[in-house]
Structure 1
Amino acid sequence: MNPTLNTIDIVVSDMDATIAFYAHLGLEFKLDPSTPGHAACDLPNGLHMMLDTESFRTPFLPGWSAPSGGPRTLLCFEFDAPDGVDAKYAELVKAGYRGIQEPFDAFWDMRYATVADPDGNGIDLYAALPAS
């Protein structure tokens, strides 16, 4: 029997800043009143996403330290049209988030851009380009 991927858990340094960032992408995280340092959001198709502060998660991950360098994991958000990619990228950069890759037309026929969340995780924004 194969396991089912049903949850993504991101370790964050600043819960409020991270919740504010993902709100720009339409995700509504709810803090868990019984578990400080933990928030969750239900996504389409039964996927669940969690945020855990470093102080909450560290006791369960002995020897853990925050990674350095570029993002090794990217969360990808699809838009209905290429102009949505450009608009969301501009909104996030204007709000003070770091742009990693400005919007461009990729050779795989998509409009693509990448920003960083408050902890440096890569967030791809993409949409299919119109058929030519």
Structure 2
Amino acid sequence: MEPRPTALGLVVADMRASVAFYRRLGVAFPSDTDDHEEAQLSSWPRPMLDTESSLVTYVPGRRRPTGGSARASLAFELGTSAEVDTLHAELVATGVWSTVKPWDAVWGHRWASVVNPDGAC
């Protein structure tokens, strides 16, 4: 399966204020948590909000970006766990920096994170 973009992740400082802001813009976040929110839209992208404190639980050593550093990520979906492992290995072999090696995340996905050429995860 070819990777397909499925989500746009934003890092937020204040989850409740951010959810209220995006709800005002018509994005229907279904719950009120303090660390992670996702909304389903009729078309791509699926917005995801994470706090800095929630990210460090699965991106060890992550530090808050400063200056013009990226505070967003683009998520791609593959068909199988093996495809995640293979694509991750292929990217790393080309010199791409991996911030999180493939692992089975608590939310049910095989997950990994790499840095794009501009330094964004």
Structure 1 length normalisation: TM-score?
0.45
More strand by proportion, 1 or 2? Answer: 1
Higher relative contact order (CA 8 A, sep 6+): 2
